[in-house]
């Protein structure tokens, strides 16, 4: 495993982090349900592989991911940097409507009182005395950043959280947040086929902050052609992907055909190839990957064994552009 400093903090994290959205299950990750025992085994496995950084959120399974994780962390909490999120809640206390999930209405609220309640609820759900990293899950156009950050800074002073990251943001959001305190990094969707968040790199370099990538495998869609043989429930995150419906499906199939010789050349899985490309985009990337199985965790850790040539990095980018054009 490789490690990196989490921005300008004293926190050292593994460059592969363990995304715990999937363990929240529900209609969104409908193909597998996991219990505390399984998550405990996953944590042991992560520890053996050197992964010390776990990401969850209150809304993952509307409290389920945090609850299971908290139970599983009993007795091994000190081994991990625990990261969760704030500003999305299902308390029916107002805020901006975001979505309905598993029968709950999720609202976005960045007011100081809501941020504090989010943190306190997470601490109770996970039975923790502090959270290492608190992520502002989405950006607000309603509540001033100064109010949100002033509460997060108070929570740091009180020892309830140690560091702050922002998510689903743009460089101008980062600049605004950084006026009010230390922002250790950003957590952004970035994959071969997604919106190009490379526009963030210069800002993060200037501040010495980490670029934590989520969805580098597009929720498993980019993990290999086997996904094309599977069907998922209507509310499952993978059913909603444009790559699972025509014309995206055919484009994805062609992309795998074009990537196959490179997998053969590097003797690696499609997931390894895609994530090796991701890591090559910037030296400061943290690869947040969702895991519910030991095998996928094992495979992902092999990414550091792959050293793509510059030409092959360009070739993968070229294949991605063809795929995006359909």
Which residues contact ligand NAP (rule: CB under 6 A)? Answer: 19-22, 55, 137, 167-168, 187, 214-220, 223, 269, 271, 288-293, 296, 299-300
Nearer CB in complex with ligand NAP: 123/192: 192
Q: Which is nearer to ligand NAP, 79 or 293 (CB)?
A: 293
Q: Which is nearer to ligand NAP, 11 or 213 (CB)?
A: 213
Smallest separation, CB 6 to ligand NAP (Å): 16
CB of 266 to ligand NAP, least distance (A): 14
- Residue number closest to ligand NAP, CB atom: 290
132/219 with CB nearer ligand NAP: 219
Which residue, 58 or 215, is less far from ligand NAP as judged by CB? 215
| For ligand NAP, the closer CB: 155 or 217 | 217
Query: Cβ of residue 303: shortest distance to ligand NAP, in angstroms?
Result: 8
Q: How far is the CB of 20 from ligand NAP (least distance, A)?
A: 6
State the minimum distance, in angstroms, from the CB of residue 47 to ligand NAP: 17
Closer to ligand NAP by Cβ: residue 9 or 19: 19
Shortest distance, position 16 Cβ to ligand NAP, whole Å: 10
Shortest distance, position 252 Cβ to ligand NAP, whole Å? 14
Q: What's the per-residue H, E or C state across the chain?
A: CCEEECCCCCCEEECEEEECCHHHCCCCCCCCCCCHHHHHHHHHHHHHHCCCEEECCCCCCCCHHHHHHHHHCCCCHHHCEEEEEECEECCCCCCEEEEEECCEEEEECCCHHHHHHHHHHHHHHHCCCCEEEEEECCCCCCCCHHHHHHHHHHHHHCCCEEEEEEECCCHHHHHHHHCCCCCCEEEEECCCCCCCHHHHHHHHHHHCCEEEEECCCHHHCCCCHHHHHCCCCCCCCCCCCHHHCCCHHHHHHHHHHHHHHHHHHHCCCHHHHHHHHHHCCCCCEEEEEECCCHHHHHHHHHHHHCCCCHHHHHHHHHHHHHHHHC
């Amino acid at each position: 495993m490789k490690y990196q400093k989490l921005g300008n903090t004293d926190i050292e994290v593994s460059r592969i982090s363990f995304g715990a959205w999937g363990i929240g299950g529900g209609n969104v990750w409908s193909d597998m349900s996991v219990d505390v025992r399984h998550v405990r085994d996953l944590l042991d496995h992560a520890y053996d592989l050197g992964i010390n950084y776990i990401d969850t959120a209150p809304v993952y399974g509307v409290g389920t991911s945090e609850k299971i994780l908290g139970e599983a962390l009993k007795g091994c909490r000190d081994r991990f940097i625990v990261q969760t999120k704030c500003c999305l809640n299902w308390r029916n206390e107002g805020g901006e409507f975001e979505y309905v999930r598993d029968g709950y209405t999720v609202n976005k609220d960045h007011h100081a009182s809501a941020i504090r309640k989010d943190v306190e609820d997470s601490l109770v759900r996970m039975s923790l005395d502090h959270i290492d990293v608190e992520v502002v899950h989405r950006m607000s156009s309603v509540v001033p950043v100064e109010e949100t950050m002033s509460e997060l800074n108070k929570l740091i002073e009180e020892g309830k959280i140690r560091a702050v990251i922002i998510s689903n943001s743009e460089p101008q959001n980062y600049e605004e947040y950084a006026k009010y305190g230390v922002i250790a990094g950003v957590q952004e969707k970035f994959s071969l086929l997604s919106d190009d968040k490379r526009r963030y790199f210069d800002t993060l370099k200037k501040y010495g902050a980490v670029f934590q990538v989520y969805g580098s495998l597009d929720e498993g869609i980019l993990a290999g052609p086997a996904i094309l043989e599977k069907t998922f429930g209507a509310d499952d995150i993978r059913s909603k992907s444009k790559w699972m419906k025509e014309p995206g499906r055919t484009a994805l199939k062609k992309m795998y055909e074009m990537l196959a010789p490179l997998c053969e050349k590097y003797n690696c899985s499609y997931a390894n190839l895609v994530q090796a490309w991701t890591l090559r985009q910037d030296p400061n990337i943290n690869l947040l990957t969702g895991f519910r199985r030991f095998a996928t965790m094992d495979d992902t850790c092999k990414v550091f064994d792959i050293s793509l040539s510059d030409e092959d990095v360009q070739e993968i980018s070229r294949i991605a552009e063809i795929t995006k054009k359909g």
